[in-house]
Chain A
């Protein structure tokens, strides 16, 4: 059996050696291989891989563009925020200023009103006092004449005699009134 195998081997090996050498390329295969590989290279390198590069570039662009857009939006938002903050602070100081002003105004108005009211009251009081003095004066004057006539009347009634002598009577009345005045003032003081 083994010898048979061995002879097979030798015959086959001999055949192989005579017919083909695996180290020497077959020119038909070289031609076909060149054509096939050229076609493959042409199609892939012209239509497929450049497209892939383009897609990669577009993808990078999309991502980086998105990042840039986001950054721009963020910056804009920050700027707006700053602006709003500044405006708010401004408004706050403005409001405080207005409030202070209003307070000052109110104080001023109050002082004015108070001053006016005081003045007015002084004025009213003064007028009242004046009026009172005038009235008192007139009353006193009236009373004086009235008291004179009354006293004269009374005196005439009591005495029952007409005082013929005018000058005497006037003197009497004057004296009487003066006495009365002093008595009155003494009584008023009392």
Chain B
């Protein structure tokens, strides 16, 4: 991105637009409407490969007394297992810990590309990936609910709160809307919008610096301020990256918790 920006410094496209998120294809090179092999999908594969290699390498020969690397891998799993899965789901959480950890690590690393130099765009700023994860969470909590309560009884349990009969016509649509319609969208859009906005912010301040410099040399101090802001926002972005990965995982766990709950 920086390289691209410097090249384009003479004629900086400002302000950044949605099109900045759809980079030309890598293979075939420069194609605009080919999406099979782009920077985004390349980062996706690198993410998956990096996570698999890290965990397989650190956990190839597990020992009772862990090595440093093994300890790091165990800490990541232990964090999600104990602080999210077991905390929210109790003993049953251990069964969900592997998926939740996979989810957490995947989102975290996918988000992290937003501030990695030369990558500097998160695949999660394309809604396709958050949408996949949200749909998996959605299907998962409904499936678990049906399995736990027995088929359609789950919907009865989820939709009909213990309330006086005359208020039910109001409550049932609200429950249906919030549980079965909004959840996947809110999950997907929350993650996507955060990463999208983060990238957009960084673009605005980076390109804005160049735009001001181009407009008037005397604006140079403002350009510097703008670039300093970029660095500051990168740190903010780091916070958002971790927070959103955590929030997505916690919400998924909380939906599962709701599906498994016996009381309302």
Contacts and interface: CB of A to CB of B under 8 A. Distances in A.
What are the nearest 3 A-B pairs in CB distance? A29-B128, A25-B128, A49-B98
B132 interface: yes
Contacts of A26: 35, 126, 128
Interface in B32-64: 32, 35-36, 40-41, 44-45, 47-48, 51-52, 55-56, 59, 62-64
Contacts of A17: 18
Nearest to B214: A1
A32 B133 CA distance: 13
Contact of B14 (A8, A33, A48): A8
A16 B13 contact: no
Contacts of B64: 55, 58-59, 62
B19 A15 contact: yes
Contacts, number: 127
B interface: dominant SS: helix
Interface of B: 13-15, 17-19, 21-22, 32, 35-36, 40-41, 44-45, 47-48, 51-52, 55-56, 59, 62-64, 66, 73-74, 77, 94, 97-99, 101-102, 105-106, 123, 125-129, 131-133, 136, 192, 196, 211, 215
7 contacts: A22-B192, A29-B129, A40-B51, A41-B99, A51-B62, A52-B74, A55-B74
Interface size class of A (residues with CB under 8 A): 35 or more
A159 interface: no
B18 A53 contact: no
A12 interface: yes
